[in-house]
């Protein structure tokens, strides 16, 4: 393995940022993905490999990176000696977010430097907190792990958070959502630098799905309750118990002694969503649980979450999760369970 940060001619230089308490797979996985672009598929078909990337792990001072799972990774070089790579990758924060941010002020300055130099910068999952802390995401779209969206919004109100998106792209800044989204981000960037055919053959070699765009199928609505508005918390609790009932938002506001305008304003301030969008999300989340029961037909699921028309509900479900109810059931049904269809 190379122990310096020079790059052979013709290869893109990818710098993976290592820091203590990072998620190991978000480092080693994407290193493998970039290293094998143009290589694995060729070897499978007995062709001459054509490597496309030189991948370097950089850490503060070039010291070993102690990952959250206890694995220690040896660095190729220090952050300071990187120069200007083609792309900088910031992996998932696996440990305490506040402690990681507080312990990496030097990295924030370097991220600003690389951005000003025109380097592509990408983050996976909670790595977006480091980009946001450096000010790189202000007034830009971004995504992170769905479970940390409330905390992210509180810390970085100037960022336009897109919690359902798996990948966001803003000129030279890219973010990926939940923990294992590094492979989606990696394939996205391989396609950016090498074209769709190289990315497609890499996905086939690694047995990965290309083109995933949505992490909403994995998200929990209950993550939107980390706020202090007691009235809105009471509304959310009431919706939990009555989500299948016909609900008029004006009547719901009146039930909690609010004007419709005040109700909408306070609900959005507390949850980041309108009351109607929240109710739809709640219904889709409940439908996801019901779809994992192979004994329930889609028509029964539709009825239990408050809809009369299967096709209308299916459109809503797909718009929220990125897949049809049938596709969701096929993916998440317990192994060996048979499913009844509509």
- CATH number of 227-332: 3.30.1550.10, 1.10.10.60, 2.10.240.10, 1.10.8.100? 1.10.10.60
Phi, psi of 315 (to 5 degrees): -65, -45
pLDDT in the model for residue 147: 86
Query: Quick check: 176 and 144 in contact, CB under 8 A?
Result: no
More confident residue, 20 or 6: 20
pLDDT in the model for residue 4: 46
**Per-residue pLDDT reduced to its tens digit, 243-279:** 899 999 999 999 999 999 999 999 988 887 899 988 9
Residue 333's H or E segment, with its range, is: none
Q: What is the mean pLDDT of the chain?
A: 86
**Per-residue pLDDT reduced to its tens digit, 58-75:** 999 999 999 999 999 999
Residue 341 pLDDT greater than 80, yes or no: no
When pLDDT is cut at 50, 70 and 90, the band that residue 120 belongs to is very high
What's the rounded Cα separation, in Å, for the pair 257 and 245?
20
Report how far apart, in Å, the C-alpha atoms of 290 and of each of 40, 258, 285, 303, 316 are. 40, 33, 9, 11, 16
**DSSP string for 276-295:** HHHHHHHHHHHHHHHHT-TT
Phi, psi of 305 (to 5 degrees): -105, 10
Predicted TM-score of the model (pTM): 0.67
Query: Quick check: 192 and 252 in contact, CB under 8 A?
Result: no
Residue 96 pLDDT greater than 90, yes or no: yes
319-335 b/e (C-beta count within 10 Å ≥ 16 → b)? ebbbbebeebbeeeeee
Report how far apart, in Å, the C-alpha atoms of 324 and of each of 33, 208, 211, 292, 312 are. 29, 20, 15, 14, 12
When pLDDT is cut at 50, 70 and 90, the band that residue 332 belongs to is low
When pLDDT is cut at 50, 70 and 90, the band that residue 114 belongs to is very high
pLDDT in the model for residue 165: 81
Please state the rounded mean pLDDT for residues 199-211. 79
Pairing assessment for the beta strands 167-170 and 173-176 based on DSSP bridges: antiparallel
**Per-residue pLDDT reduced to its tens digit, 25-51:** 999 999 999 998 888 777 888 888 888
Same fold yes or no, 12-217 and 227-332 = no
pLDDT in the model for residue 321: 78
- CATH number of 12-217: 3.40.50.11780, 3.40.50.880, 3.30.950.10, 3.30.300.90? 3.40.50.880
Among 88-102, 140-154, 247-261, 321-335, name the one with the lowest average pLDDT: 321-335
pLDDT in the model for residue 136: 96
Neighbours of 315 (CB within 10 A): 12
Among 164-168, 225-229, 290-294, name the one with the lowest average pLDDT: 225-229
When pLDDT is cut at 50, 70 and 90, the band that residue 224 belongs to is low
Q: Which of 21-30, 166-175, 186-195, 291-300 has the highest mean pLDDT?
A: 21-30
Neighbours of 179 (CB within 10 A): 17
> Domain ranges in the chain?
12-217, 227-332
């Amino acid at each position: 393995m190379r122990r310096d940060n020079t790059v052979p001619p013709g290869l893109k230089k990818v710098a993976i940022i290592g820091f203590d308490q990072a998620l190991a797979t978000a480092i080693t996985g994407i290193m493998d993905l970039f290293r094998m672009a143009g290589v694995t598929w060729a070897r499978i078909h007995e062709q001459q490999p054509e490597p496309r990337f030189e991948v370097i792990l950089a850490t503060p001072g070039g010291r070993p990176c102690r990952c959250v799972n206890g694995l220690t990774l040896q660095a190729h070089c220090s952050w300071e000696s990187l120069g200007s790579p083609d792309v900088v990758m910031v992996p998932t924060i696996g440990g305490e977010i506040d402690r990681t941010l507080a312990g990496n002020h030097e990295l924030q300055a370097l991220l600003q430097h690389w951005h000003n130099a025109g380097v592509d910068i990408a983050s996976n999952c909670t790595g977006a907190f480091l980009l946001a802390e450096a000010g790189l995401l202000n007034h830009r779209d971004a995504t992170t792990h769905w479970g940390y969206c409330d905390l992210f919004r509180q810390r970085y109100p100037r960022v336009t958070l897109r919690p359902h998106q798996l990948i966001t792209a803003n000129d030279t800044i890219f973010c990926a959502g939940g923990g294992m989204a590094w492979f989606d981000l990696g394939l996205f960037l391989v396609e950016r630098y090498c074209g769709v055919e190289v990315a497609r053959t890499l996905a086939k070699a690694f047995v990965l799905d290309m083109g995933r765009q949505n992490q909403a199928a994995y998200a929990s609505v209950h993550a939107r309750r980390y706020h202090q508005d007691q009235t809105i918390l009471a509304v959310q609790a009431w919706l939990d118990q009555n989500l299948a009932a016909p609900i008029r938002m004006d009547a719901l506001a009146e039930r909690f002694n609010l004007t419709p305008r005040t109700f909408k304003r306070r609900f959005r301030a507390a949850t980041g969503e309108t009351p109607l969008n929240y109710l739809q999300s709640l219904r889709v989340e409940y439908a996801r649980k019901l779809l994992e029961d192979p004994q329930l037909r889609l028509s029964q699921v539709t009825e239990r979450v408050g809809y009369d028309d299967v096709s209308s509900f299916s459109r809503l479900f797909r718009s929220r999760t990125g897949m049809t109810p049938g596709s969701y059931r096929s993916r998440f049904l317990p192994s060996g369970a048979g499913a009844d269809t509509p």
